[in-house]
Amino acid sequence: MGEVFHGNFTQQEPLPEASLAAAEAVLRHGRLHRYNTAEGEIAETALLEEEFAASTGAAFCLAVASGGYALGCALRACGVVPGDRVLTNAFTLAPVPGAIAGIGAVPVFVGVTDGLTIDFDDLEAKLAQARVLLLSHMRGHICDMGRLMRLCDRAGVTVIEDCAHTMGAAWDGRPSGRWGRMGCFSTQTYKHLNSGEGGLLISDDADAMARAVLLSGSYMLYGRHRAAPPEEAFAQLRYEVPNISGRMDNLRAAILRPQLKALKRQAGRWNDRYRKVAEGLADVPGLTLPARPEAEQFVASSFQFLLLDWTNDAVAAVVADCAARGVELKWFGAAEPVGFTSRYDSWRYADADPLPGSDRVLAGLLDMRLPLTFSLDDCSLIGRIIRDVVTDVRGRA
């Protein structure tokens, strides 16, 4: 059988000691609700928002209950209403079209390239169909954001960025989430900061962020935020915007603040692991690694490769043979949704026009988590196992 890997693809690193101490302090005083503070106290949630805004260069930030809530909140804050059509990537995870459908809007899927970013030709052809693009930087792959914003600005299309996989990443030096009107982040366990569940929104747009703060369930306590628009931005909106509660609590914010301080260092560690696997898979016949343009400053907490134009049986054999040797791959081309993987045509609440080019990419797309519990030697071993299996299955095909 050859070498076998014995690591756990879902085991994250323990939370840092500073997070444990901060969590204990919140638990001991019991003021978990973000607006429940003692006299003179600043809520952990308000501090997290202030610090995350500063780290991205955004004017405003809002902490919420999940990344999915952040997406739906941003859509509402940008004026999307039931029946509106919203453009989004064909290659993404279910919470993205789910956020669109969740407010009664209609997802319109845009194709994906073999670089795993949005297909600009398909986007340009569909821009007239919608007022908003919910752009997913899926699995940490960032498209040419300058080109995308020029296309959308000319068409009058508002861009909301799904940055669940790109916290700490940038395009041409500008952080992800800072290109569109709003940027949405996740702090779910498998993302770059870990609070189990959680989300963050950033924006420079005072009107959109004031709406988001009210939507999140601020009641009339928005004055306690430190990274929100000034009170005058809420003067009329507070009578018009519904409360759709989705606040983050002080416990999760306390856990996240120390992690945010270490994000740059952690990003470097993830990228070291990504490059080790990539080294092992360089020049493997039949295997394609997505291009990483020089302008893309990525943060790679996962790894993808393509087996373009392989038969379904051959791709399934690679998945099974890697699993037998301890390497867990997820296949986005499988006919049925499995775990977190699904295709745009799996989401039957949304009509999907055929996307033959995207179907070809997804049919050969394999995905793998890269937790920081893996050593660099682990990553070299994983690369060797995938290389061996792909070479073997290709030889048998």
Q: The domain containing residue 358 runs over which residues? A: 263-396
Residue 103 included in any domain: yes
Average confidence (pLDDT) over 247-254: 98
Amino acid 137: pLDDT:
98
Q: Is the pLDDT of residue 237 over 80?
A: yes
Q: What pLDDT digit, counting tens, does each position of 66-118 carry?
A: 999 999 999 999 999 999 999 999 999 999 999 999 999 999 999 999 999 99
Q: Is the pLDDT of residue 124 over 80?
A: yes
**pLDDT confidence tier of residue 343, bands split at 50, 70 and 90:** confident
Residue 5 included in any domain: no
* Same domain (yes/no): 73, 171: yes
Amino acid 396: pLDDT:
87
- pTM, whole model, 2 decimals? 0.97
* Same domain (yes/no): 32, 117: yes
Residue 1 included in any domain: no
d(CA 260, CA 52): 8
**pLDDT confidence tier of residue 337, bands split at 50, 70 and 90:** confident
Average confidence (pLDDT) over 142-162: 98
**pLDDT confidence tier of residue 323, bands split at 50, 70 and 90:** very high
Residue 74 included in any domain: yes
**Where among 261, 281, 296 does a domain terminate?**
261
Q: Is the pLDDT of residue 141 over 80?
A: yes
Number of domains in the chain: 2
What CATH number does residue 349 fall under?
A: 3.90.1150.10
* Same domain (yes/no): 108, 229: yes
What CATH number does residue 162 fall under?
A: 3.40.640.10
Q: Is the pLDDT of residue 1 over 80?
A: no
**Where among 236, 261, 286 does a domain terminate?**
261
Amino acid 339: pLDDT:
84
Amino acid 14: pLDDT:
96
Residue 153 included in any domain: yes
* Same domain (yes/no): 182, 111: yes
**Cα-based angle 78, 80, 84 (whole degrees, multiple of 5):** 150
